[in-house]
Each structure stands twice: as C-alpha cells, then as structure tokens.
C-alpha cells in the first residue's frame, strides 16, 4: 500500500461523529479523519514491513491520523 492508498483507506473507514469528537479534544488545526486509535495501531502493525509505504511520501501536518501512523512507523 502506498501513501495515497493509505489516505483513501483512512477516509473509507472514517467515522464522522468520531472525527467531530476528536477535533473537539485535539485543540489543533489538524483535520481529524475519524479513525479510532486501535484501528490505527492495527494499520501500523500490518504495514510495519511494507516497503511500498515510504515515510518520505507522507504529507505531514494536515491529518491527525496520518501523523500518528507516520510517527508510529518511524519508531
């Protein structure tokens, strides 16, 4: 999975109500897609060795979930 596929997947599995809830808690300019942390952790686990998903392709500073996955994969 490449970055664009990841972003599309996140929007596909998003929950609008959770996005609104997350946004109210984050106190940030970042956009919340609306994917819960346990699901994000599963995505990270399943793509930890994915050579197609390159950290340099990530567009940081826009979506909370994308930054979460980026930093989780980078650790």
pLDDT tens over the chain, length 75 residues: 999 999 999 999 999 999 999 988 888 899 999 999 999 999 999 999 999 999 999 999 999 999 999 999 988
pTM above 0.85, yes or no: yes
What secondary structure does DSSP assign to 23-72, as a single string? HHHH-SSSBP----HHHHHHHHHHHTT-TTS-GGG---SSBHHHHHHHHH
Place of tokens 């300019």: 29
What DSSP character marks residue 8? H
């Amino acid at each position: 999975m490449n970055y664009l596929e990841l972003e599309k997947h996140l929007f596909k599995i998003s929950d609008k109500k959770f996005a609104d809830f997350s946004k109210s808690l984050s106190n940030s300019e970042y956009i919340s897609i609306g994917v819960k942390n346990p699901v994000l952790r599963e995505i990270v686990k399943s793509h930890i060795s994915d050579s197609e998903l390159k950290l340099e392709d990530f567009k940081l500073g826009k979506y909370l979930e994308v930054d979460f996955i980026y930093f989780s994969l980078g650790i």
